[in-house]
Amino acid sequence: MAQKEMRIDKPYLNLPVRPDAPIAWVNWERPDGGLLYELYAELDFDDPAYYVPCHVERWMGETLRLRIGAVSEERLEALVCEDKPRTWTKRPDDGRPRVHFTPFRGVMGDPNGLFALDGVYHAFYQHNPYGTQCGDWTETCNFGWSPAVSTDLCRWRGGPPFMIPDENGPAFSGTAFVDEENASGLGDGTKPPVLLYYTAAGGQSRRTKGGAATQRLMVSIDGGEHFHPYAHNPILPNFCRGNRDPKVFRHRDSGRYILVIYSGEKYLYYVCASTDLLHWERLPDFQWSDWECPDVMEVPVEGEDRTQLVFWSARGYWAPVDFDGERFTQLAPARPFDEGHQIQCGQSFAGMKGRCVQLHRFNVGLPCAPWYGAYTLPYELTLAAGPDGSYALKAAFAAEVASLEAPADIQRDIVLHNGAITLPAASPCRIRIDTELEKGGTLRLRFGGFEAVLSHGELSCGEHRVTVGTDGRYRLDIVWDGPLAEIIEGGSGRLLPAVSCETGRDTLELSGSGACILTQSLAALSL
């Protein structure tokens, strides 16, 4: 392992990466040998595919020891700190989505710590800056949290890695809570403290081998601009192997704060309660139909002045629940949010008064691209209550998505009968279809690498299908953005997300069999 002393006088060390290169260990140490940061990366000094910035600004002005395995001293001497991250890449990056947030480099994982405060939206995401494939787990997990900030829920500005793996382990998933009542006593009276609960995954890195996962807390008292570790971490000890992904919400009827955490055992969640958001007592466990990344949300009920508590898990399974201050009761079988299971780990924003807005992640990457993963656009969720006490979950693009639109001319009120039309529709764009189909009629939409078909009360895209429509009337709201498509049926609020790596088709093709009457709108989307 080669090593050298380096004074950190600039914020970036750009590492040369090639996805199929051998993995090299990279360690940052203090001169006395104290380990600050360890990571792994597929380094190639001779033929890099692209560069990945290692953010070292947190150690600005210090002299550190850089150690890299399987690298000569001569190679190591060529690495120096730089003012900017290198954007150069040999790999195709022109297929990157334009209105969906993606990481600059590396693998994007679960949305974490979403909150709204003072007109600003904050989101963090699981991030392996040095990985190239979904997961990219090894003995030393690189995953931590990276931030994104927006003023409209659609245009996001990313920042440097926020929580990096440390002596407590990589930073796994968690949640945000805006402590408006200052129940924690951590605020200074100017702004409500923002609390980030997360799992420090001890045992998931070489540095923490043999350790255990604990639940920890980061605190901001300036509206989310800066966070610092809570002085008395961890807030919860290790319950069992693999416990992770804390979710915190306020239960209004009991006046207590409730924390739900996945146990690490399939279908089992631990439940805790607190009066100060810092000290927690165990409540009865909750058995559920899915695992990981719980979300517990107050979802508005359409036409009624109330909300309904909904439990949510990583693969998008949801169900209405009751909570009596001690235990959860599931009110209906769990159902999937999207039929394609192409989005995962949805999380709702804390601090969105009167609204329930979620972001999800797409498992998507382009071959050899320097990034993997993307956020969905924001979805606003509501519930339709049935006369029998049942609920239907409905999704719509949040109203803020309209801020991306630019006017576009389009033909309207088209009648198709065993015919077809082609319209210009370059990605990214938003397509709205309002159509009537006669019994047995079919409408096909082709755009980019996607084909969506309406027929017999069903919407299909690829191998995935959802039941839609009422009495032959269909309303589709589609966002097409390069390799991604999100299709929402306006009547039912059913969601059908899709992924395709095909490119080069900058048209919208509409074809019908049986009478189709179309009223359309088409809008270009831009950043």
Give per-residue pLDDT as tens, 79-118. Answer: 999 999 998 888 777 788 999 999 999 999 999 999 999 9
**C-alpha torsion sign, points 210, 216, 222, 225:** positive
Residue 472: per-residue pLDDT: 76
Let me know whether 441 and 323 are in one domain.
no
**Tokens found for residue 360:** 């999800």
User: 44, 64, 61, 60: which is closest to 52 by C-alpha?
Assistant: 44
Last residue of a domain, one of 366, 401, 436: 401
Last residue of one domain, picked from the residues 401, 426, 458? 401
Question: Based on the domain organization, do 415 and 391 belong to the same domain?
Answer: no
State whether 189 and 232 are in the same domain: yes
Main-chain phi, psi angles of 58, to 5 degrees: -65, -15
- Which residues lie below 8 Å from residue 523, measured CB to CB, with a gap of 6+? 405, 406, 407, 408, 429, 430
CA-based R_g, the chain, Å: 24
Are the C-beta atoms of residues 177 and 197 closer than 8 Å to each other? yes
Instruction: Give the 3-state secondary structure of residue 78.
Output: helix
Say if residue 448 is in the same domain as residue 508: yes
Note the pTM of the prediction, 2 decimals.
Answer: 0.94
Is residue 128 within 8 A of residue 107, CB to CB? The reply is yes
In this structure, are 326 and 461 located in the same domain? no
- Rounded Cα gap, residues 276 and 46, in angstroms: 55
Q: Is residue 47 part of a domain?
A: yes
Q: Is 213 helix (H, G, I), strand (E, B) or coil?
A: strand
On whether residue 479 sits in a domain, the answer given is: yes
Tell me, yes or no, whether 88 lies in a domain. Answer: no
Burial of 237 (C-beta count, 10 Å sphere; 0-12/13-18/19+): exposed
Q: How far apart are CA 251 and CA 233, in angstroms?
A: 24
Per-residue pLDDT tens over the stretch 213-270: 999 999 999 999 999 999 999 999 888 878 999 999 999 999 999 999 999 888 899 9
| Residues 156 and 295 both lie in one domain | yes
Can you tell me whether residue 9 is helix, strand or coil?
A: coil
State whether 480 and 346 are in the same domain: no
* Domain-terminating residue out of 82, 98, 125: 82
Tokens at 237, concatenated? 């000890």
267: domain CATH number is 2.115.10.20
Please tell me the total count of domains within the chain.
Answer: 3
Same domain, 142 and 213: yes
The answer to whether residues 397 and 493 belong to one domain is: no
Q: Which domain holds residue 172?
A: 106-401
Domain-located, residue 95: no
User: Does 503 reside within a domain?
Assistant: yes
Residue 97 lies in a domain: no
Chunked into runs of 10 residues, the chain (527 residues) has average pLDDT values of 93 93 91 89 92 94 94 89 91 82 91 97 95 62 93 94 92 96 96 97 86 95 96 90 92 96 91 98 94 95 97 95 96 87 92 95 79 94 95 96 84 81 86 86 90 89 82 87 92 88 76 82 70
The dihedral built from the CA positions of residue 331, 337, 340 and 346, taken in this order, carries a sign that is negative
